[in-house]
Amino acid sequence: MGKSIALFGTSADPPTIGHKKILEELSEIYAFTISYVSNNPNKKHKEDISIRSHLLKTLVEDLNNPKILFNQSVSSQWAVESIKKCQKFYEFNNLDFVIGSDLIKDIFYWKNFDKIIKEVSFFVILREGYPVESNTLKMLETYNVKFKISSIKIPNISSSKFRLNSNYSNLPTSLIDFVKKNNLYESTKLVE
């Protein structure tokens, strides 16, 4: 029997309390949430993907929720490839690709956009300061993109804000010691 699955790929540089909240909320909505770390071709990453995937895996293990799975083997910098890999691993009726509202307008330029929109629905998580604008909604309709706008409320923190001037309280507790011990994000002034 197929199930409804959320595919949550993220650059997670580093995973924050926002990522934790998203995972927790997705587990309340979906039969399973598959999470992984990817390299976004439009971003410059501070830490290597192996470090970032270790951090996200640690977070998922700490959540200890059987509905939240970490599977780095579905990772690709291209969404279309991650979707194909996920389809090979899991049996499901519906796949929702989780995306932040800051990135939704970019999907029209993604590699194999036309294939992606046939395979998945988008589950859009609103981020503060990034509303889904009316012209984006019109484009989604024009291209017959299946999407839902989430009512999930997440903290106004992002990996990039953390790297700029944040503090350890914006990291999940399970990650703080590893980040400190390995001097990760050391160019950032971190405070207790």
* DSSP letter string, 68-123: EEE-GGG--SSHHHHHHHHHHH---SEEEEEEETTTGGGGGGSTTHHHHHHH-EEE
- Residue 88: inside a domain: yes
Whether pLDDT at 192 is above 50: no
29 band by pLDDT with thresholds 50, 70 and 90: very high
For residue range 113-169, list pLDDT tens digits in order: 999 999 999 999 999 999 999 999 999 999 999 999 999 999 888 888 888 865 788
**Most distant pair of Cα atoms in the chain: their distance:** 50
Comparing CA positions, the residue from 150, 80, 74, 76 lying closest to residue 118 is 80
- Residue 192: inside a domain: no
- Residue 185: inside a domain: no
Check residue 92 and give its pLDDT.
Answer: 82
Decide: pTM greater than 0.95.
no
- Residue 179: inside a domain: no
CATH number at residue 53: 3.40.50.620
Check residue 189 and give its pLDDT.
Answer: 47
Provide mean pLDDT across the span 76-85: 95
Comparing CA positions, the residue from 71, 78, 130 lying closest to residue 104 is 130
- Residue 173: inside a domain: no
3-class SS of residue 167:
coil
In this structure, the number of other CB atoms found within 10 A of the CB of residue 148 comes to: 11
Check residue 117 and give its pLDDT.
Answer: 97
* Residues belonging to the chain: 192
Check residue 11 and give its pLDDT.
Answer: 93
Mean pLDDT computed over every residue of the chain = 91
> What residues make up the domain containing 99?
4-156
The total domain count for the chain is 1
Q: Residue 147 has what DSSP assignment?
A: E
